[in-house]
């Protein structure tokens, strides 16, 4: 059943629970309102559920934990509130869950740590709070995509010696204000990262030496709105970078010569609102012609125009 991108309004009827053989339900991009009915837990054959981009409100029903065949659940961009039910930990077949851009509150249930098939977890831009600890990830062996951004009351509370059971390619913890002050030590185990966003995370620490070991695959790196200066961060092993954001990072240094090695791949660069100084190295000549150099307050002294434009 695919009724997406229509102008459906009103409530999802309770009678939807009688469709016991339904395996695919897509009601996204409509104007549906009201609560998700408890009867949805009767859809025992449902493997794909997409209710995103509606105006659904109220709590996610506990009965959702009865959807034993569910592998993909999208509830993003609604007005859902209250806690994420503990029963979600019963969804043993779940590989993708996106609950972002709602008004969900309370702690993230530790039962999520039992979802051993979970590949993608997106809880960003809610009002979630409390500790995120090792128990939330106990059996998440297949987790590759993790996004918790915009939950300003979440505190990352794991042991300094924690070794996660997963290898992430995508990690977004931006605006998780209680992430710092130190650079998350467990990140050194994530050697397959392609996208890393730790912007606005209250980090007050220089980039550690082990960062070289995880940066070789990075295509996107955002460390902006933290205090990682005063030295220019040593990311010279990040030779696949296409997007680099280092604005408002308290850098008080020159751009190092090794920056030429990564600049040829860059499509987007933001070094604004720092106190970078000194001679402008010959990086512009190596920069991809499609790159956008964002508006800066960088001050360069004794610049040679030939150097600037190659």
- pLDDT for residue 260: 80
Going edge to edge, which strands form the sheet with 127-132? 9-10, 31-34, 55-58, 79-82, 103-107, 127-132, 153-156
Q: How many CB atoms lie within 10 A of CB 138?
A: 16
Do the domains 1-137 and 167-310 sit in the same CATH topology, yes or no?
Answer: yes
Its pTM stands at 0.90
- pLDDT at position 241: 92
Q: Which top CATH class is 1-137?
A: alpha beta
Q: What is the CATH number of domain 167-310?
A: 3.80.10.10
Q: Kindly give the residue spans of alpha helices, DSSP state H, lying in 101-183.
A: none
pLDDT value of position 306? 35
Question: Consecutive sets of 10 residues in the chain, 310 residues long: mean pLDDT of each?
Answer: 98 96 98 97 97 98 96 98 97 98 97 97 96 96 97 89 96 88 92 96 91 90 94 88 93 86 84 82 54 47 36
Q: CA-to-CA distance for 116 and 138, rounded, in angstroms? A: 9
- pLDDT for position 286: 53
**Spans of all domains in the chain:** 1-137, 167-310
At 308, which helix (H) or strand (E)? helix 305-309
């Amino acid at each position: 059943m695919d009724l997406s991108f229509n102008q459906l309004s009103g409530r999802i009827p309770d009678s939807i629970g009688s469709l016991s053989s339904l395996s695919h339900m897509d009601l996204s991009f409509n104007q549906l309102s009201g609560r998700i009915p408890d009867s949805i837990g009767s859809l025992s054959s449902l493997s794909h559920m997409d209710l995103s981009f509606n105006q659904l409100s109220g709590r996610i029903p506990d009965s959702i934990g009865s959807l034993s065949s569910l592998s993909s659940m999208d509830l993003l961009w609604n007005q859902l509130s209250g806690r994420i039910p503990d029963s979600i930990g019963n969804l043993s077949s779940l590989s993708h869950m996106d609950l972002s851009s709602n008004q969900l509150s309370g702690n993230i249930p530790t039962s999520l740590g039992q979802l051993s098939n979970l590949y993608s977890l997106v809880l960003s831009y809610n009002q979630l709070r409390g500790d995120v600890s090792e128990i939330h990830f106990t059996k998440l062996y297949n987790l590759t995509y993790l996004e918790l951004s915009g939950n300003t009351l979440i505190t990352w509370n794991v042991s300094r010696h924690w070794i996660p059971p997963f290898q992430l390619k995508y990690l977004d913890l931006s605006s998780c204000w209680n992430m710092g002050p130190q650079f998350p030590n467990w990140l050194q185990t994530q050697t397959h990262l392609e996208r890393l966003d730790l912007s606005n995370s209250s980090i007050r620490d220089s980039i550690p030496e082990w960062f070289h070991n995880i940066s070789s695959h990075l295509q996107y790196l955002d460390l902006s709105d933290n205090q990682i200066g005063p030295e220019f961060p040593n990311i010279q092993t990040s030779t696949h970078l296409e997007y680099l954001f280092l604005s408002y990072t308290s850098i008080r240094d020159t751009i190092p010569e090794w920056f030429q090695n990564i600049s040829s791949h860059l499509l987007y660069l933001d070094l604004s609102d720092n106190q970078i100084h000194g001679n402008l190295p010959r990086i512009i000549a190596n920069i991809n012609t499609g790159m956008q150099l964002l508006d800066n307050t960088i001050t360069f002294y004794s610049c040679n125009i030939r150097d600037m434009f190659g």
